[in-house]
Amino acid sequence: MTSDRIALDTGLAPAGTSGGEPVTARRYTHPLLGTRPVVRLTGQAAAPGEDQVLAAAGFSAPDTGPPVAAGYRQEPGYPAWAGSW
């Protein structure tokens, strides 16, 4: 077993690790926070739900870059599932 695979099994692995879901850093801003951004590490499948939840709280659409890691896909749990509809 490779060290990247072990890392993936325990959480996050380097970007591009086979079997992993791309994880990106998503940067959100909010008028009440001034220049201080909120950055969330989010898997590809959960990203649309995260965007909707934060938009409902008044945050801007995220700035995203290339994947920073690979992780296991996690289905949203309650109450996060409500924001993904």
Note the pLDDT tens digit of each residue in 24-49.
999 999 999 999 999 999 998 889 99
Check pLDDT > 90 for residue 63.
Answer: yes
pTM summary value? 0.74
On the question of pLDDT at 6 being above 60, the answer is yes
Closest to 72 in 3D by CA, of 17, 1, 8, 4 = 8
Confidence of residue 81 (pLDDT cuts 50, 70, 90): low
- Phi/psi at 31 (5° precision): -55, -35
Quote the pLDDT of residue 20: 82
Whether 22 and 66 have beta carbons less than 8 Å apart is answered as no
